[in-house]
Amino acid sequence: MFNIEFKENSSSKNFLISSIFWLILFTTFGFILAIKFFAPEFLGQTSWLTFGRIRPMHVNGVTFGFLSTGIIGIAYYIVPRLTGTKLYSEKLGNLTVLLWDFAIATGTVLLGLGYTQGREYAEYIWMIDVAIVITLLLIGYNIFKTILNRTERKLYASIWYIMGTFLTFPIVYFIGNVMWHPDTGSLQGAADGVFNWFYGHNVLGLWFTTLGIAGWYYFIPVITKRPLYSHLLSMISFFSIVFVYTGVGAHHLLQAPIPEWLKTIAIVNSGLMMVPVLAFITNILLTMRGSWNCFIKSIPLRFMLIGTVFYFLASAQGTFQAFRETNMYLHFSQWTVGHAHLALLGGFGFLVFGAVYFLVPRVTGKEIYSSRLTSYHFWFSTLGFILFFSFMTIMGLIQNSGWFQNISVATVLLQLKPYFIGRALAGGMIVLGQYIFFYNMLMTFRGEAKPAKEPSVVPPKLKRIQVKVEKYRESVPLFAIGGLGLFLTMVFIVVILPYLLMDSPPSDIAHPYTVDQARGRQLFISNGCMYCHSQFVRPQDWGIGRISQPGDYFYDKPLLLGTERTGPDLAQIGGARPPLWDIMHHKNPRSVSPGSIMPNFSYLSDQDLNDLKAYVDGLGTRNLETQDFQPLVPELYSGRQNIYNDTIANVNSSNESRTEYADLIDEGKILFSLRCLPCHGASGIGQGPYARHVNQHPANLNDRISNFPGVDYNFWRVMEGVPGTAMPPWKLSLTEEAIWKIISYEKTFVDGVVRVIPGNFSDSEAIDFGNKGIKSPIKQDDINFTDGMKIFNLYCAQCHGVDGHGDGPAAVYIDPQPANFTETSNNFQTQGQWFWKLSEGVETTNMPPWKYVLTEDDRWKAIYYIQKNFSDPGVFDEKWRS
Amino acid sequence: MLPGDMMTDTMMSIDPGDYTIILISSVIILLIFPILLYWGWKKGQFKDLEEAKYRMIEMEDENGN
């Protein structure tokens, strides 16, 4: 299939042919992955067809196969055109095609067989890394020799970008893949994450972006026949990319245990990233002024311009999600997957599509087989991609929203199925477009070369005049020293400095791996478990362990932080599930976890399953403690003490302190009655009226507060609310002081109230009020009796008991004891006396002031029911019958 | 509440001794880049910055595209 005659442009042509082939193969893999999200048994239980194996094949395949071969082909075409000379060596160029394709093919097969370094975007094993770096250096050599032989004095922007790419990217690849450690290609501990994401982001920033912009800056002026709007702007963009993009990698780790200063540098650089991005898009849009008719006429241009829009959106999105607040929300979900596809497929993929349509006639002398098929390709790709991206973005927001409410990963996953299906359909549309593209190209290459009908298909005849060659080399040193200097400076700041300074001893949960665990870890990596299971507890995660620390990873090589949380986080899962459950889960996930979409690992041997179990069960540490059922109090609240501790502790030390205590309980009780009673009930038992309308039953405060690890936990829960329940974050409407008053009152459901105001005080207030001659305004009929009964049973019976004996379910802890109405009802002499007690409550008891909760009529109905039902019939008739 | 507020005290800090490395690096960077800029300016590399964009269109025409 490859052209071995080393004709002019053959290197470019053969790279483009490879790109089309890899596109078909690796987008098909992507389509299979999309199906597996809702049909996890799809394509059976063959190891190399499981999700964890196909995913790295897909990611590395589209990255280094389809996209990289495409943009290298573009670079091989552009450089001779802009330097006015032939490519230095077509022979060397074609050798690089073979080397590159060999590396991709071998790397893909090895990934399928489970040979991986387990670091995202850097999965290829060392042997493949060596082949890639050698090929990059050879391509760079070919390009630089061509540039040094140029006949054009001035270097156009695209050449700057291409030179910059081949100066910096081999270094990025070498450092990021930790190639001086051939065994694992990784560093020990948390520093490995810094190296991984320095590389992971710069595959985008210093490879696709720089080569992609070179392509856009070349093709768009050539197709529209209008010069670039501003060459100076492109220079500014170039230097800012080299400096700023180099330092953004750590924004992938904003929630991870790496130095805070490094995160801050990454955030600042991510903001500054908009400088080159805006410079680029402004340059493109202003170049297009007056030429938008070409957008309609030329499908290659249409692909490329749509690509610039997707690239711009991906870049703006990248900056947006690199801030701490947005990142903590959007992290770990399908949102990020959508973002990656927007940049790679939407941005650079569309550039390659356009470039292939533009270049194939020029490097083969053959017209494109079918313009109709080209149009189909465009519309399937564009519409398919917009749908595809939308599904992932929506899914991401659903996931993040759920997790933010502390809804478990497994529960949220169940809600995503329709979107997984939608994503696969949209992905299928894209893949169908690529098959059309492949067929169109196949027919084009198989066809005969046609005489050109118009200049657009004439193979360019390059000038070969080389005069005063040495004179033209002068701009290379400035570029090389300036660009490379900026790049190396940032590398020093964001890679070398952290490497020197990150030195964390093992944490309390770090432990060396046993032989079984180490083997299990290798199986975890080779089967791609880390693509769905993260391994770090973020500051915003609740209930899955303490926040991860750098020392937790002391024994890890490579680091397996993960980038997606399709399944639960495993950082501290050790001991959380019975070990034999793990084995069953791995053999048949859905037998023990019904909604799981995990692949079936029944192809593993018993030994392998045991090793994998040993690794997973020891993650974090094998925690078999019994008292870890409460999530840890976040740092912001940890250790906070009740500001009224002294008031409560010194209640009986003086008259003033007694008054102070009574006021505290009184105010706390009113606040509680207004805010908390609807769910927790007047007794705190969790039987308030609203409790009937929520799935998560309100807490029984006596039981819950008794088991809280500390008052700081109670304060945190009231301040922030309880995600996944109806408990709201009260900090939004109450002051901290008010919340401490509520907490002081709630504590009486455990400790009782110190009755510093005796009952006869309340009695005398009620008698005074009753003596005013106030009468019940309601009719004493069956309807009001029934209403009164319902009100009593709902609000009062939890303390006073359904039979009024003061033995409701809360009576076991309410102190002072609730009244027994069969005894006390006879004591009331006037209706006003009753009304006062009910409306104002009883000081320094848990009897609330019902005037804050019930209407006057409701209170009278309750009184009517209590009196008629619980007092002696004679007493009722004598006192209340009217 | 921001994630930064919730960070534990296990995050790494810079050892005072390492400030020397950072200081020296910063001074070198501050000196090198103005020198390079001046050198490039003297060499005339900032003249006719826009020329290349016109040449590339002309070359395409010359090459028959």
The per-residue pLDDT for range A38-92, each reduced to its tens digit, is 999 999 778 999 999 999 999 999 999 999 999 999 999 999 999 999 999 999 9
Torsion, CA A706, CA A708, CA A709, CA A712, rounded to 10: -120
Query: Number of helices and strands (H, E) in chain A?
Result: 39, 0
Is residue A770 domain-shared with residue A843, that is, in the same domain?
yes
**Which of A158, A538, A550 is opposite residue B12, by nearest beta carbon?**
A550
Tens of pLDDT, residue by residue over A16-35, are: 999 999 999 999 999 999 99
Is residue A476 domain-shared with residue A533, that is, in the same domain?
no
Half-sphere exposure of A800 (CA within 13 A, CB side): 23
Phi, psi of A387 (to 5 degrees): -65, -45
CA neighbor of A277 nearest in space, from A319, A229, A332: A319
Query: What mean pLDDT is reported for chain A?
Result: 92
Cβ pair A427, A364 in contact under 8 A: no
If one counts every other C-beta atom within 10 angstroms of the C-beta of residue A292, the result is 11
**Which of B12, B33, B50 is opposite residue A501, by nearest beta carbon?**
B12
If one counts every other C-beta atom within 10 angstroms of the C-beta of residue A126, the result is 17
CA dist A71 and A102 (Å) reads 17
Domain boundary among A617, A632, A660: A617
Closest CA in chain B for residue A460: B63
Q: Please give the biggest Cα pair distance in chain B.
A: 66
CA distance B2 to chain A (A): 7
The rounded radius of gyration (Å) of the Cα atoms in chain A is: 36
CA distances in angstroms from A97 to A49, A135, A312, A317, A358, listed in the order given: 28, 9, 30, 34, 20
Cβ pair A137, A181 in contact under 8 A: no
Query: Could you tell me which residues of chain B have a Cβ less than 8 Å from any Cβ in chain A?
Result: 1-8, 10-15, 18, 21-22, 25, 29, 32-33, 36, 39-40, 43, 45, 48-57, 59-60, 62-65
**Contact assignment for A482 to B40 by CB distance below 8 Å:** yes
| Helix, strand, coil percentages in chain B from 3-state DSSP, rounded to 5 | 65, 0, 35
Q: Is the dihedral of CA A373, A374, A380, A381 positive or negative?
A: positive
Is residue A703 domain-shared with residue A775, that is, in the same domain?
no
Asked if the structure places residue A134 within a domain, the reply is: yes
CA distance A687 to chain B (A): 31
Q: From its phi and psi, is residue A801 left (phi > 0), alpha (psi between -120 and 50) or beta?
A: left
Cβ pair A835, A825 in contact under 8 A: no
Is residue A114 domain-shared with residue A176, that is, in the same domain?
yes
- Domain at A780, CATH number: 1.10.760.10
**Contact assignment for A156 to B15 by CB distance below 8 Å:** no
A197-206, A590-599, B6-15 — which is least confidently predicted? Answer: B6-15
DSSP state of A304: H
Is residue A743 domain-shared with residue A764, that is, in the same domain?
no
Helix segments in A721-830, DSSP class H: 736-746, 748-751, 759-770, 782-791, 797-800, 821-824
Is residue A173 domain-shared with residue A122, that is, in the same domain?
yes
Mutation target vs A (from B23, B28, B31, B59; most A CBs, 10 A cutoff): B59
Phi, psi of A135 (to 5 degrees): -65, -40
Whether A809 and chain B come into contact, CB under 8 Å, resolves to no
Residues of B in contact with A8 (CB under 8 A): none
Angle at A35 between CA A34 and CA A36, to 5 degrees: 90
Closest CA in chain B for residue A218: B56
Tens of pLDDT, residue by residue over A631-681, are: 778 878 989 999 999 999 999 999 999 999 999 999 999 999 999 999 999
Tokens of A159: 């050449």
- Whether the pLDDT of residue A452 is over 80: the answer is no
CA dist A441 and A20 (Å) reads 8
**Contact assignment for B57 to A222 by CB distance below 8 Å:** yes
CA dist A184 and A179 (Å) reads 9
CA dist A654 and A659 (Å) reads 9
Tens of pLDDT, residue by residue over A831-862, are: 899 999 999 999 999 999 999 999 999 999 99
ipTM above 0.85 for this complex:
no
Residues 6+ apart with CB under 8 A from A345: A62, A385, A430
Residues 545-574 of chain A with CB under 8 A from chain B are: 547, 549-551
Is residue A116 domain-shared with residue A175, that is, in the same domain?
yes
Residue A593's domain spans which residues? Answer: 515-617
Asked if the structure places residue A322 within a domain, the reply is: yes
- Per-residue model confidence (pLDDT) at position B13: 53
- Per-residue model confidence (pLDDT) at position A746: 97
Cα A267 to chain centroid, rounded: 16
- Per-residue model confidence (pLDDT) at position A629: 63
- Whether the pLDDT of residue A293 is over 90: the answer is yes
CA distances in angstroms from A696 to A21, A137, A398, A723, listed in the order given: 54, 61, 20, 10
Q: What is the pTM of this model?
A: 0.82
- Per-residue model confidence (pLDDT) at position A458: 36
Domain segments of chain B as ranges:
18-62
Higher-pLDDT residue of A394, B40:
A394
- pLDDT band for B10, please (50, 70, 90 cuts): very low
Is residue A189 domain-shared with residue A331, that is, in the same domain?
yes
Asked if the structure places residue A190 within a domain, the reply is: yes
Mutation target vs A (from B5, B39, B56; most A CBs, 10 A cutoff): B56
**Which of A232, A489, A539 is opposite residue B7, by nearest beta carbon?**
A539
Domain count for chain A, please give it: 4
CA dist A225 and A287 (Å) reads 10
**Which of A156, A456, A460 is opposite residue B56, by nearest beta carbon?**
A156
**Contact assignment for B62 to A230 by CB distance below 8 Å:** no
Is residue A162 domain-shared with residue A121, that is, in the same domain?
yes
CA dist A54 and A31 (Å) reads 10
Is residue A673 domain-shared with residue A802, that is, in the same domain?
no
